[in-house]
Chain A
Amino acid sequence: MIVDGSESSLKSFLSGLPGVDQVGAEARAAMLATRSIKTTSKNWAIDTAISMVDLTTLEGADTPGKIKALCSKAVRPDPTDPSVPSVGAVCVYNDMVNIARTHLDSIGGQYIPVAAVSTAFPSGRASLAVKKQDTQDALDNGAGEIDMVIDRGAFLSGHLGQVFDEIVMIKELCGERAHLKVIFETGELVTYDNVRKASYLAMLAGADFIKTSTGKISPAATAPVVLVMLEAVRDYFGMTGKRIGVKPAGGIRNTKDAIKQLVLVNETAGPEWLNPGLFRIGASALLNDLLMQRMKMRDGYYASPTYVTLD
């Protein structure tokens, strides 16, 4: 037992973590961004990235039609090429979970989990009862993954125990039924020290994945933020023998950025993390760019964007 969940034990553990030097972390992330990924390794990286995409739509304008289109795309990202892998999951609001689950099951996508954003996403500003009900609804409708937001207000005002308890409660609801991803909204936590503290806090409270952002706030999944989170899961594995996943979300829009993320994973947490069980990328526009680049690698020229499907 690293912490007993009390405010004081959390405070003493988290403040005992080494700091993050901002300049050094940014320099390391920038250096890794210079890696040149070509030919066979680029092919591998594109397919791996596709299999890691949590294909996401989180709009007020989402409709059953939109969700069904997204699910079809998730199963067969490129209808002309069956060798393209399916994505890692589809990620929707909780009232769309049932539609997504039913549609995926009806088109051969039983193996693709539906992730539901939860706990008063994106702000996290609601009572605990509402947050629990939000999660329960999603689970009842067939969500295989819960993407909860932490209470940033509680975190920033130093009420770490409150943040911890909420994660523990949501994790209890998830039980064996669903994987729990914990969203920090790093753009609101601002400092890398906070990102590191939040990472350990979530892992200690039972998160299966730690996730950067909601996609509603900028900056989101910047390379140094992901670097700090990858260091945290790597070191947590060293402490406990348990591998926690990482999900950058928000701002990863093209293949180059996605490959940079994979390089970060490869050279920070290590190749063990390079699979959809431990690394996901929350995105929507990214998938089509990956498909375009895949066609380019296959055919030797860029196809017109009309050759990739809308979702």
Chain B
Amino acid sequence: MTNFEYAPALESTAILDIASQYGLFINGKFVDPKTAQYFPTINPANEQLISQVAFAGETDVDDAVKAARNAYEKSWSKLSAAERGKYLFRIARILQERAREFAVLETLDNGKPIRESRDVDVPLAAAHFFYHAGWSDKLKYSGLGNDPKPHGVVGQIIPWNFPLLMLAWKVAPALATGNTVVLKPAETTPMTALLFAEVCQQADLPAGVINIVTGDGSTGSFLVNHPDVDKIAFTGSTGVGKAIARAVSGTKKSVTLELGGKAANIVFEDAAIDETVEGIVNGIFFNQGHVCCAGSRLLIQENIQDEVLEKLKRRMASIRVGDPLDKNTDLGAINSAEQLSRITELSASGDLEGAHRWSPQCDLPAAGFWYPPTIFTGVTQAHRIAREEIFGPVLSVLTFRTPQEAIEKANNTPYGLSAGIWSEKGSRILWASQQLRAGVIWANTFNKFDPASPFGGYKESGWGREGGRHGLSAYLKGEK
């Protein structure tokens, strides 16, 4: 060996005890689906079967909602707020104790690198439960009135990009504020939600407080349209979000939506270039770019374009693509064949419309779903890849001449979830952050999350906020 090639450093899967089949988690127990149907969930890195999970139909969803209603009325709403908080603390601690199990399972089912599930997804999920556990008995100080009340039964539909973390973002505030939950995990990533069901049992959470129904879009639709659900919380695509908004209009249901994005990551000429390059990489290649707030539109001041792109390309050449269970992998597998074809199709439109594609030399595994880290230069506002959410490791690079032009281009999108500003000049950061129409704005960093910090979008990126004091209001009826 003459080069420093990192030998495989695989995280073991021996810690997992995966059943061959999983039922629905209703009223504190795993039950067979009334549909009698199961569907496979596979490892996107090698297309091997992980397990078969139950397919919940209309009757199953109805059973879950009934269990949640019953638990809300008979047990959960009767508990003191402090007692409620204790359950959240208990869940948070169990998540920490079983962190390795959750990380490995998340990586298997989702395809994300173990480094990210281990260092980001699972610790943040536990942090969300700890944070909200603390709120449980302090809601009257949340600024939402003297005695804010829960909605009752909440239907929650979560995406496949951060399966456990999105569960935590939804479940923790719902429980802390005294609601009960019917949760529908994403079709391709149900496994950590099912392991979370075991955690609920381990924590002795009263039966029916959390119910988990696996299935596809139709399952989600039964939940959205169920007459006894008081509130819907959804994270996913803008298309589905709009359908949900239409479905609940004219009903008593309240809704929060956390939808797509096409974030501008703006690099000014006075940026700290090396750290900016790290931020660009983190902004678009974190989690294979399967991030609603990904920095997918890079706006570089034209006079430093060459320097930034040269450094970015060199840095991209060091990205390690491969087995997500390898502790040295930076970029894992694309979550599904369907998503891979969407990324492929949108990228092809970039070629067709005259943008210049570049990827570093990298060997992709034969089995599974893979896409190399990719940038397109010479992109303009009129390109599809500058407007549509690719949700993959594909970055569109645009340029600007003046700060005003940067802001105009950044805001020229129907989305408004996040944005990034790179500058060593404090006054420029403050000015730009006031002009940008985006819910989350990062300065000299990107993709940083904290349970105390509200997250959510402007325009077609969503309604409402998750996290922090603002996020509580989505789950409470008070004087808002």
Contact = CB atoms under 8 A, between A and B. Distances in A.
A39 B5 CA distance: 11
Contacts of A44: 1, 4
A18 B271 contact: yes
Interface residues on B, range: 20 to 34
Interface in B390-435: 424
Given A23-B444, A24-B445, A41 B275 contact: no
B312 to A, nearest CB: 14
Point out which of A23, A28, A39, A45 has the most chain B C-beta atoms below 10 A from its C-beta: A28
B10 to A, nearest CB: 9
Given A24-B272, A41-B6, A274-B4, A34 B278 contact: no
Contacts of A18: 270-274, 424
Contacts of A45: 4
A48 B2 CA distance: 10
A40 B4 CA distance: 10
A18 B270 CA distance: 7
Interface in A206-264: 231, 262-263
Interface in B221-265: none
Contact of A41 (B4, B270, B279): B4
A35 B114 CA distance: 12
A20 interface: yes
Interface in A58-102: none
A216 B411 CA distance: 53
Given A19-B272, A34-B115, A24 B444 contact: yes
B136 interface: no
A148 to B, nearest CB: 27
A185 B278 CA distance: 27
A28 B328 CA distance: 14
Given A24-B278, A28-B278, A231-B274, A41 B327 contact: no
Interface string B301-325: 0000000000000000010000000
A45 B4 CA distance: 7
Contact of B7 (A20, A27, A40, A262): A40
A27 B282 CA distance: 11
A20 B272 contact: yes
A35 B3 CA distance: 16
B424 A21 contact: yes
Given A19-B272, A35-B328, A271 B9 contact: no
B119 interface: yes
A172 interface: no
A36 interface: yes
Point out which of B273, B274, B424 has the most chain A C-beta atoms below 10 A from its C-beta: B274
Contact of B1 (A37, A41, A267): A41
Contact of B4 (A19, A27, A39, A262): A262
A168 interface: no
B108 to A, nearest CB: 18
A36 B424 CA distance: 33
Nearest to A263: B4
Contact of A271 (B4, B119, B272, B276): B4
Nearest to B310: A238
Contacts of B3: 271, 274
Point out which of B272, B278, B328 has the most chain A C-beta atoms below 10 A from its C-beta: B272
A25 interface: yes
B272 A21 contact: yes
Interface in A1-45: 18-21, 23-25, 27-28, 34-42, 44-45
A20 B327 contact: no
A23 B445 contact: yes
Contacts of B328: 35-36
Given A21-B272, A24-B279, A231-B274, A34 B327 contact: yes
A309 interface: no
Contacts of A267: 318
A85 B259 CA distance: 58
B4 A25 contact: no
B444 to A, nearest CB: 5
Nearest to B9: A36
B327 A36 contact: yes
A21 B275 contact: yes
B445 A35 contact: no
Given A19-B424, A36-B327, A40-B7, A25 B318 contact: no
A262 B274 CA distance: 19
A41 B273 contact: no
Nearest to B271: A18
Contacts of B8: 38
B1 A40 contact: yes
Contacts of B327: 34-36
A266 interface: yes
B410 to A, nearest CB: 21
A21 B4 contact: no
A231 B277 CA distance: 12
Given A19-B272, A35-B327, A262-B4, 15 more contacts: A18-B273, A20-B274, A20-B275, A21-B272, A24-B272, A24-B275, A25-B275, A27-B278, A34-B119, A35-B6, A36-B6, A37-B6, A37-B9, A38-B8, A41-B6
7 contacts: A18-B424, A24-B445, A28-B278, A34-B115, A37-B9, A262-B4, A271-B3
Interface of B: 1, 3-9, 115, 119, 270-276, 278-279, 318, 327-328, 424, 444-445
Nearest 5 pairs of A and B residues by beta carbon: A24-B275, A36-B9, A21-B275, A21-B272, A36-B327
